[in-house]
Amino acid sequence: MEKASFSKRLNSKILLTRWKSEQGFQDIPSKILEKPYDLSDLIFEWSELQTDKIVLKPEFSFSGRHKILKFISIASEQWENSNLQKESSWFPCVAQPWVQRIYDFSCLYDFAIGVPTFLGSTIQICDEKGSYNGAYITSTKESEFFFFLLEPIVKKLSESFSPEYQGPVSIDGFEFNSQNIKKIQRISETNYRWSMGRILFELSKSVFFQQKRNTFGDNLSILTLPLKQTIPNYSEWIYDWGQSQEIEIFPLTPDRFASGKSYGTSWVLLRFLKIQRKRYNTESKSFIPNGGNEFFTEMYLRLFQTLTVCPINHPQPTLG
């Protein structure tokens, strides 16, 4: 029971929000809401933020699991009467104004009783609603950028928020536009567990991928595909299709179609050609010095749509 209580405290978005406010690490306005009626307070407090939507994050939920509400709707008496009861399951929660994200990142650490060790970082592949679809490993320069960006936060986090914890930690953040100015939310959420980014990082250190380091470079990625139709010889098909698009794809999930199932989530490892990263390095105007993240996130989302929407028996569209 003590272990469960400790885990609950570490993963509470409400406690993390309070800690960020106390330490001065709140890069985006946040408010803790205990019950649905507390939403009305936001009408006055955030009236000058120029936001048309707000995000509700339940105290205990995975990254990307949130509720989006139109800001103007919470001022409606009709909305209060008809929706407060329906939305009650989202409370208590943390509310934030909706911002236009440019890219999401995750920094990977090992914590050992107050001492953090930085391992690397990933860019998270999210759709326009912030739902998680996968991740790819950043370059060495990008990882260095994130290391120095989060260093003061991570030191405080390990010392004062989770001094007793030993194990894997991922810290999620994102770059966003605010009134045509690019800013960074340095710490959006923390995960005191094995994340998909950490799994990708560990896979990248395997003997197989270390041997292919020269060809894979820094573009190794993990992607989730919610397939909804039968694909005969799925493993061979997706590898061959990837080759036709100049993408190497390695299925991680056992071929569920071979056992008669025509649906389910399939995880794959993949990478785009290194030449593509070099080509687009100079086009990014983000904080990250090596750039290219907006392009790659767009490419992965297009790949995601291609593999989950297009009919399998018809020629697949190219991504370039």
Report if residue 190 sits inside a domain: yes
pLDDT band at 85 (very low <50, low <70, confident <90, very high): low
Same domain, 303 and 201: yes
Percentage of the chain beyond pLDDT 90 is: 36
Q: Please give the pLDDT value at position 261.
A: 66
C-beta of residue 33 within 8 angstroms of C-beta of residue 21: no
Q: What is the mean pLDDT of residues 2-28?
A: 93
Residue of 88, 113, 106, 114 lying closest to 33 (CA atoms): 88
- Tens digits of residue pLDDT in 248-257: 888 887 766 6
pLDDT exceeds 50 at position 221: yes
Alpha helix (H) residue ranges in 131-262: 140-156, 196-204, 207-211, 213-216, 234-244
pLDDT exceeds 80 at position 14: yes
Q: Which residue has the higher pLDDT, 71 or 281?
A: 71
pLDDT exceeds 50 at position 223: yes
Percentage of the chain beyond pLDDT 70 is: 74
Of 136-145, 162-171, 235-244, which one has max mean pLDDT? 162-171
pLDDT exceeds 90 at position 239: no
Q: Please give the pLDDT value at position 315.
A: 38
Q: Please give the pLDDT value at position 130.
A: 73
Strand (E) positions, 1-155? 31-33, 53-58, 67-70, 93-97, 100-112, 115-126, 132-137
pLDDT exceeds 70 at position 313: no
C-beta of residue 116 within 8 angstroms of C-beta of residue 169: yes
- Tens digits of residue pLDDT in 28-54: 999 999 988 888 888 888 888 878 899
d(CA 8, CA 189): 14
Residue 45's CATH number: 3.30.1490
C-beta of residue 224 within 8 angstroms of C-beta of residue 251: no
Residue that terminates a domain, selected from 141, 170, 194: 194
Span of 54-58, 91-95, 249-253, 286-290 with lowest mean pLDDT? 286-290
Strand (E) positions, the chain? 31-33, 53-58, 67-70, 93-97, 100-112, 115-126, 132-137, 166-178, 181-191, 221-227, 247-251, 264-272
Burial of 50 (0-12, 13-18, 19+ CB in 10 A): exposed
Same domain, 83 and 107: no
d(CA 221, CA 209): 12
Same domain, 145 and 202: no
- Tens digits of residue pLDDT in 150-160: 999 999 999 99
Same domain, 133 and 151: yes
Q: Please give the pLDDT value at position 301.
A: 66
pLDDT exceeds 50 at position 275: no
Predicted TM-score (pTM) of the model is: 0.84
Total domain count, the chain: 3
Span of 86-90, 232-236, 260-264, 280-284 with lowest mean pLDDT? 280-284
- Tens digits of residue pLDDT in 105-126: 999 999 999 999 999 999 988 8
Host domain of residue 121:
100-194
Residue that terminates a domain, selected from 97, 119, 144: 97
C-beta of residue 95 within 8 angstroms of C-beta of residue 56: yes
Residue that terminates a domain, selected from 61, 80, 97: 97
Same domain, 302 and 217: yes
Name the average pLDDT for the chain: 80
Residue 170's CATH number: 3.30.470.20
Same domain, 167 and 219: no
